[in-house]
Structure 1
Amino acid sequence: MRTQSSNLSKPYSRTVKLTACAVGVAALLAAGVARSAEVEVLHYWTSGGEAKSAQVLKQMLDEKGDTWKDFAVAGGGGGNAMTALKTRVIAGNPPAAAQIKGPAIQEWGDEGVLVSIDDVAKHEGWDKLIPPQISSIMKYKGQYVAAPVNVHRVNWLWINADALKKVSAQPPATWDEFFKTADALQKAGIIPVAIGGQSWQEAETFETVALGVGGAAFYKKAFVQLDPATLKGPTMVKALETFKKIKAYTDKGQTGRDWNMATGMVITGKAAMQFMGDWAKGEFSVANKVPGKDYLCVPGPGSQNAYTFNVDSFAFFKVKSPDVQKGQKDLASLLLSPKFQEIFNLNKGSIPVRQGMDLSKFDACAHRSAADFTSSQARGTLVPSWAHDMVDTPAVEGAFYDVIGNYWSDDNETAQEAADKLAVAARTR
Structure 2
Amino acid sequence: MFRTHSLALAGALAFGTAASAAAAGPKAEVIHWWTSGGESAAVKQIAHAYRAAGGVWVDTAVAGGDQARAVAINRMVGGNPPTAAQFNTSKQFLDLIDEGMLNNVDEVAQRQGWDKILPELILNTVRVKGHYYAVPVDIHMPTWIWYSKAAFKKAGVAREPASVDELFAALDKLKAAGLVPLAHGGQPWQESIVFMAVLANVGGKELYLSVFRDRDQRALASEPFKKVLLAFKRLQGYVDPGSPGRNWNDATAMLINGKAGVQIMGDWAKGEFGAAKQVAGTHFGCIAGLGDKSPYLIQGDAFVFPKTGNGEAVKAQRLLASVIVAPATQIAFSKFKGSIPIRTDVDASQMDQCAQTGLKIMKDKTRHVGVNEIYLSPDQNGALQDVLTAFWNTRMPVEKAQKSIAAALRN
Question: Scaled by the length of structure 1, what TM-score is found?
Answer: 0.91
Residues 61-100 of structure 1 correspond to what in structure 2 (within 5 A)? 61-75=50-64, 78-100=65-87
Deviation by residue 1:160-216 (Cα, 9 ceiling, x = unmatched)? 011112233212121211111111111111110000010000110111011111111
Q: What residue number does 1:207 align with?
A: 196
**Whole-angstrom distance in 2 between the partners of 1:69 and 1:269:** 38
Task: State whether structure 2 residue 58 is matched by structure 1 residue 50.
Answer: no
Q: Between the two proteins, what is the percent identity of the paired residues?
A: 37
**Whole-angstrom distance in 2 between the partners of 1:233 and 1:250:** 28
Structure 2 stretches of 5 or more lacking a match? none
Task: State whether structure 2 residue 389 is matched by structure 1 residue 405.
Answer: yes
Task: State whether structure 2 residue 207 is matched by structure 1 residue 218.
Answer: yes
Q: Secondary structure at the match of 1:219?
A: helix
- For this pair of structures, how many residues does the alignment match? 406
Task: State whether structure 2 residue 180 is matched by structure 1 residue 191.
Answer: yes
Q: What residue number does 1:240 align with?
A: 229
Deviation by residue 1:383-417 (Cα, 9 ceiling, x = unmatched)? 1111xx3321100000010000000001x212221
Q: What residue number does 1:394 align with?
A: 378
Give how far 1:18 is off: 4.8
Question: Which stretch has the larger CA shift, 82-91 or 363-372?
Answer: 82-91
**Whole-angstrom distance in 1 between the partners of 2:22 and 2:332:** 29
Deviation by residue 1:13-64 (Cα, 9 ceiling, x = unmatched)? xx99658577446413312314632211111111111111112212221222
Give how far 1:330 is off: 0.4
Question: Which stretch has the larger CA shift, 234-243 or 298-307?
Answer: 298-307
Give how far 1:92 is off: 2.1
Relative distance call for 1:304 and 1:195 in structure 2 (3 A) is farther
Give how far 1:105 is off: 2.8
**Whole-angstrom distance in 1 between the partners of 2:368 and 2:276:** 31
**Whole-angstrom distance in 2 between the partners of 1:216 and 1:31:** 58
For the Cα contact (< 8 Å) 1:399–1:425, is it kept in 2? yes
Q: What residue number does 1:159 align with?
A: 147
For the Cα contact (< 8 Å) 1:175–1:302, is it kept in 2? no
Q: What residue number does 2:398 align with?
A: 415
**Whole-angstrom distance in 1 between the partners of 2:378 and 2:359:** 28
**Whole-angstrom distance in 2 between the partners of 1:265 and 1:244:** 22
Structure 1 stretches of 5 or more lacking a match? 1-14
**Whole-angstrom distance in 2 between the partners of 1:328 and 1:85:** 15
Residues 224-303 of structure 1 correspond to what in structure 2 (within 5 A)? 224-302=213-291
For the Cα contact (< 8 Å) 1:115–1:318, is it kept in 2? yes
Q: Secondary structure at the match of 1:326?
A: helix
**Whole-angstrom distance in 2 between the partners of 1:82 and 1:133:** 22
For the Cα contact (< 8 Å) 1:213–1:302, is it kept in 2? no
Q: Secondary structure at the match of 2:76?
A: helix
Match of 2:311 among 288, 302, 322: 322
Give how far 1:341 is off: 0.5
Q: What residue number does 2:368 align with?
A: 382
Task: State whether structure 2 residue 385 is matched by structure 1 residue 427.
Answer: no
Paired letter, 1:74? A
Q: Secondary structure at the match of 2:375?
A: coil
Task: State whether structure 2 residue 17 is matched by structure 1 residue 29.
Answer: yes
Match of 1:114 among 68, 79, 102: 102
For the Cα contact (< 8 Å) 1:306–1:372, is it kept in 2? no
For the Cα contact (< 8 Å) 1:233–1:419, is it kept in 2? no
**Whole-angstrom distance in 2 between the partners of 1:246 and 1:271:** 14
- Aligned Cα RMSD in Å? 1.8
Match of 2:120 among 126, 132, 136: 132
For the Cα contact (< 8 Å) 1:149–1:312, is it kept in 2? yes
Deviation by residue 1:208-236 (Cα, 9 ceiling, x = unmatched)? 01111111111011011111221232111
Paired letter, 1:210? L
Question: Which stretch has the larger CA shift, 175-184 or 296-305?
Answer: 296-305
For the Cα contact (< 8 Å) 1:212–1:303, is it kept in 2? no
Q: What residue number does 1:5 align with?
A: none
Q: Secondary structure at the match of 1:253?
A: coil
Relative distance call for 1:225 and 1:17 in structure 2 (3 A) is farther
